[in-house]
Amino acid sequence: MIKALLGGTAVVAFAALGELLRPRGLAGIFAAAPSVALASLAVTSAVTGSGSAAAQAVGMIAGAAGLVVASLLGIESVKRLGALRGSLAAVTVWLLVGASLGALFLR
């Protein structure tokens, strides 16, 4: 519950920061800001200890690798399919990559 509130707040803060920046390419960096991660890891460290947070961070390496692949493909899919369908395709790619990396390394 606390994580959800802090996570939401962090996303809004980074989004606002991103909106201030021009040009769009630079502002876009903030679309992949570690806002949820920052809030969640801070709460996990405080509540369940830093060992658990470090383990989450290991999982996050796989998630971030998936995000690199997803957004690289997203550049093309957004151009071809439009913002909504293109980014949903990117999210699907992330789910596939994340699930396979998770199955391979994180169990």
Residues 3-22 that bind another protein (CB under 8 A): 3-12, 15-16, 19-22
Q: What is d(CA 41, CA 58) in angstroms, rounded to the nearest whole number?
A: 11
Instruction: Give, in degrees to the nearest 5, the angle at Cα 20 between 19 and 26.
Output: 75
What's the closest the beta carbon of residue 56 comes to another protein, in angstroms?
Answer: 3
Could you say whether residue 82 binds another protein (CB under 8 A)?
yes
What's the closest the beta carbon of residue 2 comes to another protein, in angstroms?
Answer: 9
**Helix (H) or strand (E) run with residue 34 in it:** none
Residues 22-81 that bind another protein (CB under 8 A): 22-42, 44-46, 50-68, 70-72, 74-75, 78-79
Task: Read off the amino acid at residue 61.
Answer: I
Q: What is d(CA 53, CA 74) in angstroms, rounded to the nearest whole number?
A: 29
Could you say whether residue 96 binds another protein (CB under 8 A)?
no
* Other beta carbons less than 10 A from residue 57's beta carbon: 14
What's the closest the beta carbon of residue 13 comes to another protein, in angstroms?
Answer: 9
